[in-house]
């Protein structure tokens, strides 16, 4: 859901610092993996900040960090999925939105069950939207059948039934005696 408009001026390190988040290089992951408020995906933060601005990035980071038990979930997939949920405009954004959701468990679930042609981010975004917006908003309503299409199918069904009767009658006539067939 990243737009391709002109880039916003955004310093991801400054925005993260305002949210109380330290950004480390990915090769330092082993040292602080269990601590909260540590992010190892600076490129993702820069990408979101440049695409949507510092205010959007700040909102996304605060939604993750300030929710109960999710401060250590500043992973690339989670940050992008939360950004997609905010951008979808299908969910009312409030401070306690992610309090009841374990984003780490949701990310692990999305990595395990993602369809073949689907990324973890897309699976996680879809799951979060289904939880918060509900399936009646996220999933499209089934299209009502077109009356012309229904009429065409009925005509096709009747013509096949008539063709089957004609073939049966012709086969019986070639064999000699034609028994009475109900409905013919």
pLDDT digits (tens, 9 = 90+) for 102-139: 999 999 999 998 778 889 999 999 999 999 998 888 88
pTM of the model: 0.72
Distances (CA, A) of 1 to 47, 52, 86, 89: 12, 10, 10, 12
Assess whether pLDDT exceeds 80 at residue 30: no
Model pLDDT for residues 40-58, shown as the tens digit of each residue: 889 999 999 999 999 999 9
CA atoms 121, 123, 125, 131: torsion sign: negative
Q: What is the pLDDT of residue 83?
A: 96
Assess whether pLDDT exceeds 90 at residue 85: yes
Token duo for residue 27: 């090769």
Among 130, 70, 135, 57, smallest CA distance to 100 is for 70
* Cβ proximity of 81 and 69 under 8 Å: no
Q: From the CA atom positions of the chain, what is the Rg in Å?
A: 29
Among 127, 148, 156, 150, smallest CA distance to 139 is for 127
Range in 27-41, 52-66, 103-117, 144-158 with the lowest mean pLDDT: 27-41
Average pLDDT, the chain: 86
């Amino acid at each position: 859901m990243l737009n391709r408009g002109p880039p916003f001026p955004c310093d991801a390190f400054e925005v993260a610092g305002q949210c109380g988040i330290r950004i480390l290089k990915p090769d330092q992951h082993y040292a602080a993996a269990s601590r909260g408020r540590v992010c190892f995906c600076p490129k993702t933060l820069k990408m979101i900040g440049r695409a949507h601005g510092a205010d959007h990035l700040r909102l996304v980071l605060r939604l993750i960090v300030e929710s109960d038990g999710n401060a250590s979930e500043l992973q690339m997939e989670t940050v992008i999925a939360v950004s997609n949920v905010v951008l979808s405009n299908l969910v009312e954004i409030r401070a306690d939105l992610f309090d009841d959701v374990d984003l780490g468990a949701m990310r692990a679930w999305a990595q395990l069950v993602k369809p073949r042609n689907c990324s973890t981010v897309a699976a996680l975004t879809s799951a979060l939207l289904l939880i918060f917006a509900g399936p009646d908003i996220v999933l499209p309503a089934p299209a009502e059948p077109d009356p012309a299409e229904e009429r065409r199918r009925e005509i096709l069904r009747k013509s096949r039934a008539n063709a089957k009767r004609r073939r049966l009658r012709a086969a019986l006539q070639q064999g000699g005696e034609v028994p009475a067939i109900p409905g013919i």
